[in-house]
Amino acid sequence: MRLVVVCVVFTLAAAGIGWAGGLFGPAPVLRAAVRAALQLAVVSVVITAVLAALPLTAAFLALMAAVATGTSAARSKTGRRGIWVGLAILAGTVPALALMLLTGLVPPTGLALVPTGGILVGGAMTATTLATRRALDTLHDRHGEFEAALALGFTEPVAVRELVRPTAADALLPALDQTRTVGIVTLPGAFVGMLLGGAPVWQAGALQLVVLLALLAVEAAAIVVVVELVARGLVRRARV
């Protein structure tokens, strides 16, 4: 009962603060909270089967990537073309997870792959969404400069890259700040989870360091791919 009460209080607080501050209406927060509760309930039911079989684990990771792609496309308002952002999410996630598996840092078990893959996919999704939004906003707001660059003889991809790179790069700031302040300001989930599971402190710290650095690589790759997708015209705002 206490869990429900606290969750309701936090949800109403977020919705109320956003509404009172004129930032957003309560609906997005309420929908997100209800969706999170339902999804966690479903995952809690099926996770045992998923973790027990590698094929199911692979399918679950693919589902994660698909949902992340859809979420990022919706947030960046790219319509059907938004499916291309899936390349940005996978560009760093797949090699990073493969490297962890090949080096033995992550064992080939569902118990290890699902949370690790979820962290990487989630980080890539956030970076992709932020980079896409910033890049497309810049392209729209500075369209005059884009036209001027074309008039000077720049090709369209080169002109777009020069415009959107600086703002798209801001998408890496949350990951950079988390990495720089780890252990002082933040204690991320992998570290806390291993400690609660009884792992030695040094082992939890080492794994968390690997995860944080992997996130930097994954998100940097996502941002570079987003810039290229926008530069080549594969990702554009959907016409309303």
Tens digit of each residue's pLDDT, the chain (240 residues): 788 889 889 999 999 998 888 888 889 899 999 999 898 888 777 777 777 788 888 999 999 999 999 999 998 888 777 889 999 999 999 999 999 999 988 888 888 888 889 999 999 999 999 999 999 999 888 888 888 888 888 888 899 998 999 999 999 999 999 888 877 776 666 655 655 555 566 666 777 788 889 999 999 999 999 999 999 989 887 665
Residue 134's pLDDT is 93
CA distance 142 to 164: 10
As given in the structure block, the two tokens for residue 222 are: 């996502």
Q: What is the pTM of this model?
A: 0.83
Residue 45's pLDDT is 78
Residue 212's pLDDT is 87
CB distance 160 to 146 below 8 Å = yes
Query: What distance lies between CA 9 and its chain's CA centroid?
Result: 26
Based on its alpha-carbon atoms, the radius of gyration of the chain, rounded to whole angstroms, reads 20
Coil, strand or helix: which one is 182?
A: strand
Residue 89's pLDDT is 96
CA distance 174 to 40: 25
